[in-house]
């Protein structure tokens, strides 16, 4: 099993854009992203903080990619 790599919200946003997600709205520090096929997720943008492992796992579950794919996409960024 691949170890989950911690990233900040800006890098997660780049990953989501690479996967085809669009930024649809924002409420406070939380940004909502939607994919044309109906998948969606929310990412909190707190400057200077990394996303927690449980939150990254939840985002990956919502966007339907596994940890290995996530690691592969991060290598390409």
38: region left, alpha or beta (phi > 0 left; psi from -120 to 50 alpha): left
**1: pLDDT strictly greater than 60:** no
| CATH H-level superfamily of 9-76 | Hypothetical protein. (3.30.920.30)
Determine the average pLDDT of the residues in 51-67: 95
Cα 51 to Cα 57: distance, rounded to the nearest angstrom: 10
pLDDT tens-place string over residues 6-43: 999 999 999 999 999 999 999 999 999 999 999 999 99
pTM of the model as a whole: 0.91
Cα 49 to Cα 23: distance, rounded to the nearest angstrom: 20
Cα 37 to Cα 21: distance, rounded to the nearest angstrom: 9
Q: What are the structure tokens assigned to 66, written together?
A: 């596994």
């Amino acid at each position: 099993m691949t170890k989950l790599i911690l990233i900040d919200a800006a890098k997660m946003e780049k990953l989501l854009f690479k996967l085809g997600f669009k930024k649809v709205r924002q409420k406070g520090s939380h940004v909502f992203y939607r994919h044309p096929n109906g998948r969606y997720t929310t990412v909190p943008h707190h400057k200077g903080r990394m996303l927690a492992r449980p939150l990254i796992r939840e985002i990956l579950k919502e966007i339907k990619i596994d940890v290995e794919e996530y690691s592969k996409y991060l290598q390409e960024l």
